[in-house]
Amino acid sequence: MEHGTLSRSDFAGVVQPIREQFRQLLREGAGYEIAPKEKTPLAKTVRTCQQLLKIEPALWTFVTTEGIEPTNNVAERALRPAVLWRKNSFGSQSQAGSLFVSRMLTVATSLRAQNRSVLEYLVQACRASRQGLPAPSLLPIQDRTP
């Protein structure tokens, strides 16, 4: 779909038997008799199957909805800079350091997605802080309210 290899309707046709088998397995798992407050592994599985059956149609949104791809490639690409940073820097040594890194990675990712300069933003943020002003907005220009 993303690369034009399979139309969404063809993909839905391929997934349909899998979906039906999955639904049948959930029904089978949800059908076991358990006591109301039972805490055995079987009881946990039965309750999980029951809960999944309630939301089962939502599990297949990626099959029927345009714009939702059946892979997590976009998410993996977004996480890649953080993974590389952690690998190359050996992570942070404190909770404050972890918080700083998470915020900086969020800022950098947000700005790069908008084709904005990370360095320019950080300079503006430092200047604003020194002057007692609020940090510049991370919102895309068209999303800012006047």
The number of distinct structural domains making up the chain is: 2
- Euclidean distance between the first and the last CA atom of the chain, given in angstroms as a whole number: 39
Q: Does 146 score more than 70 pLDDT?
A: no
Of 141 and 61, more confident: 61
Q: Does 145 score more than 70 pLDDT?
A: no
Other C-beta atoms closer than 10 Å to the C-beta of 26 total 19
Of 92 and 9, more confident: 9
The pTM for the full model equals 0.52
Contacts of 101 (CB under 8 A, 6+ apart): 82, 85, 92
In this structure, is residue 2 part of a structural domain?
no
In this structure, is residue 55 part of a structural domain?
yes
Residues 58 and 101 in one domain: no
Domain that residue 57 falls in: 8-64
Residues 90 and 130 in one domain: yes
Residues found in the chain: 146
Q: What is the pLDDT of residues 23-75, one digit of tens each?
A: 999 999 999 999 999 999 999 999 999 999 999 999 999 898 887 777 777 77
Residues 49 and 108 in one domain: no
In this structure, is residue 3 part of a structural domain?
no
The token duo for 116 is 């904005």
Residues 139 and 77 in one domain: yes
Residues 59 and 83 in one domain: no
Q: What is the pLDDT of residues 79-90, one digit of tens each?
A: 787 778 777 877
Q: Does 19 score more than 60 pLDDT?
A: yes
Residues 55 and 77 in one domain: no
